[in-house]
Structure 1
């Protein structure tokens, strides 16, 4: 990976925060929390190792018991959860980093095999995703979810708001609301998963209403400068189909632009929508570049040239705790180990070497 233009490594501002560079560690589920969803000491070390990122976005964290994406996923609805995340935030800050926490609800991609007893997956409509989901016994077909009632939706908005308050109380610099990648808020945006005819579905405004309501509630609870949103227009993960992503996301972004949020995290589509969203969004834009030639540093520089303010890196941060230094110096990268992606202990999680310890190595 050759060195990138200096702009990627220049300090910048995110609202009232000073960031050391423009590189964002993307949220990636790693399943290292305790069984009850409490973040572990191992998680604090993992995020602390990567504190040289301009901004860390911690992995998707469920605000209610039924929102878990899989076994050992972290939550944020008890005092123990909050204390665990406080240890993560303290470790990152002690090493000079900045960290947001991603709030997400799995929706119909959850499964009864790992949810607490009596809790069933929920979704906008009672339509099972035609996909497999991770459980303790392996990958199994998704189940038919319970269609949320109007009252349950209102309770969910409140739950996101409360979890955001806990995140800030734990010392997080802010929260990123996950409305992407096939999970619950994205399910409401997608017309094949959301067939409702009430105010939470139907037309484009109806399908965007829940994401707007959650974002507004969180911004009111912790301040818009600590609130961000992630979207992935046209993403088909989780058996989703969006007939007209251009209309959906221009409507959504235009509705939220006046709030003055910390940032919008956009997964590029490689279409005219990318430039349109940049024009509509008045504050910081974080971009996950569209797949290119594999040169992530060059793709990041190109994204900055297209108007991104910050650029998100995923598996490269997973496998390289010193990714910023490696990109700046053009050092080889570690190879991510798939067997360490989800669950387990330190192996494939906190034992990747830095460049000074072993250049471009896989973990033995």
Structure 2
């Protein structure tokens, strides 16, 4: 390729395969898409840090295996809360660890798309941009998670017909109505799968005088959790520490009991979806009676969400294909064709 050809390719947004990245740094999981290679990393947003030296002991799946099992001087923690960075230093260590695993070359600084909740403050957004730049990004583009989820779910985001997406993550729930390539209405609720786990822990403690760990609560949610009555209710056995004796004890939990425990959390999600519909322009609201609501995110896998929202709101509701990867899939589409989709990104890129 001649020098002139290379310049023309550069102006057209060309970049070597494997150079550019899309990152969905979520409260529960971090996913990375490499241009031309697809999603190459999907691991828990979790680190294990040696408190004596500040050294990163493990990250991602390795840190998750250590959860609740570490010695006193090793702390496992999540550097994000409710979808935003709470510990910038640890977040940077985590990002460096993940990006080093997927970058084919340290000599090329990638352009990077990062996903943020739809309602994020300027300070929170800048913290994420700064972390990406310090980890070697040449230029950082910000994409709202709801828009990324809609693109990843295959919705016609550039059409005049309205699309509505509800992205249920670990730390936040993003709801947006999208039309003509932009977000018409959006709300972000800082409640997600983590709050469901906390509600299970609190409910089992109150009802059974049993203390559960984080991993046990997550397992209960996966095995019997639901937000709407099931055709056949489920039962699981869970082991924890008896608060009165201090000894291990096993109890049985049914899906109906767990549903009651998590109802205060799930009711908040229903209300934020309702509030977005309430302020939707009449023309777009009419579109949604036909196109309905699409659910994305790992939280959407909790049983019964389509039935619950359909009953509460009176509009069609469906689950996206592979909902837990919809956001990174949408961000990956943007980084694969950055020139064509640049107008969907939120604001000017940080150099």
Query: What is the TM-score with the length of structure 1 in the denominator?
Result: 0.29
- The structure with the greater share of residues assigned to strand is 2
- The structure with the greater share of residues assigned to helix is 2
Query: What is the TM-score with the length of structure 2 in the denominator?
Result: 0.30
Please tell me whether Structure 1 or Structure 2 has the larger radius of gyration of its CA atoms.
Answer: 2
